[in-house]
Amino acid sequence: MHQDKRTAYWRANLRLVAFCLGIWFVCSYGFGVLFVEQLNSIRVGGFRLGFWFAQQGSIYVFVLLIFFYAWRMNRIDRQYDVHED
């Protein structure tokens, strides 16, 4: 029936989710926690970069990621003809 299309749509969604969560992980747990000391040796203005990612940068990235995901998903919905209205 529509099983192939259904699977393809779901794959496309999972790829996008995996991509976004990769960035989510790197910008918070990577830059803000695991590699914070290394990044702290770089200065941007009055901030040490690792500290900035932990208290500012990660949050900005989170906001952008959700809007990016919503935008891309709307396009994928249309492409597979499963969009609403």
Residues that bind other proteins (CB under 8 A): 1-2, 5-6, 9-10, 13, 17, 20-21, 24, 28-29, 32-34, 36-37, 40, 44-48, 51-52, 54-56, 58-60, 62-63, 65-67, 69-70, 73-74, 77, 80, 82-85
Contact call for residues 36 and 22 (beta carbons, < 8 A) = no
* Beta strand ranges found along 14-73 (DSSP E): 43-44, 47-48
Shortest distance, position 81 Cβ to other proteins, whole Å: 8
Q: Are 72 and 83 in contact (CB under 8 A)?
A: no
Largest pairwise CA distance in the chain: 60
Q: Which two tokens stand for residue 64?
A: 């952008």
In angstroms, give the least distance from the CB of 38 to other proteins: 13
